[in-house]
């Protein structure tokens, strides 16, 4: 399977909207607003164009990942949200490709770590551990197992402690 990972461009916006919407349609742990969240974040000061990536298969977008800037104490990190792969392409390694490429680009851009609120059996495959182990706290009520962080550089989270400050767009509708 030949999957191409690349940065999104303006022509992709509508296709991404539908890919994200479709991906979360039947998700149990979702507010089913992820497609609108992507649009809100794209217009946010926390948006990082280089970290809005798509997965293409046979000329069609089949997946999308977005990382945005967050603050933890006096440190700037990134948050992974959302990760979307259309249902018929799930369990084929596309999410893994998106996450790994995102992490590589983020490290090249100088980001030391990433946080995610997500599935506790999926994200640890990519190095994510309970954020509490690093002294990083969520600004909302979430179980310790589902709020995770990963170092993108050796020792990248050693001086990071506090409550995550997400882009305000996460909390708007």
pLDDT tens string 95-136: 999 999 999 999 999 999 999 999 999 999 999 999 999 999
State the distance between the two ends of the chain, measured CA to CA, in whole angstroms: 37
Does 173 or 150 have the greater pLDDT score? 150
The rounded mean pLDDT for the chain is: 95
Residue 32 has pLDDT above 90, yes or no: no
Hey, what domains does the chain have and what are their CATH numbers?
Answer: 3-171 (3.40.630.30)
Q: CA-CA distance, 103 to 77, in Å (whole number)?
A: 12
Higher-confidence residue of 130 and 31: namely 130
Q: Could you give the percent of the chain with pLDDT greater than 70?
A: 100
Return the residue matching tokens 């979702």: 30
Average pLDDT over residues 78-106: 97
Segment holding 81, helix H or strand E = strand 75-85
pTM for the model stands at: 0.96
pLDDT grade, residue 15 (50/70/90)? very high
């Amino acid at each position: 399977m030949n999957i191409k990972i690349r940065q999104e461009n303006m022509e992709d916006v509508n296709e991404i909207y539908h890919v994200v919407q479709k991906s979360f349609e039947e998700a149990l742990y979702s507010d089913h607003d992820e497609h609108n969240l992507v649009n809100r974040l794209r217009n946010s000061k926390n948006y990082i164009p280089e970290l809005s990536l798509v997965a293409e298969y046979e000329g069609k977008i089949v997946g999308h990942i977005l990382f945005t800037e967050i603050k933890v104490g006096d440190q700037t990190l990134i948050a992974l949200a959302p990760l979307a792969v259309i249902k018929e392409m799930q369990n084929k390694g596309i999410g893994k490709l998106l996450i790994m490429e995102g992490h590589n680009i983020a490290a090249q851009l100088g980001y030391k770590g990433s946080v995610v609120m997500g599935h506790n059996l999926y994200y640890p495959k990519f190095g994510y551990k309970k954020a509490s182990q690093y002294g990083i706290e969520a600004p909302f009520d979430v179980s310790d197992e589902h709020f995770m962080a990963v170092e993108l550089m050796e020792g990248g989270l050693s001086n990071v402690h506090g409550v995550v400050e997400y882009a305000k767009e996460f909390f708007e509708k």
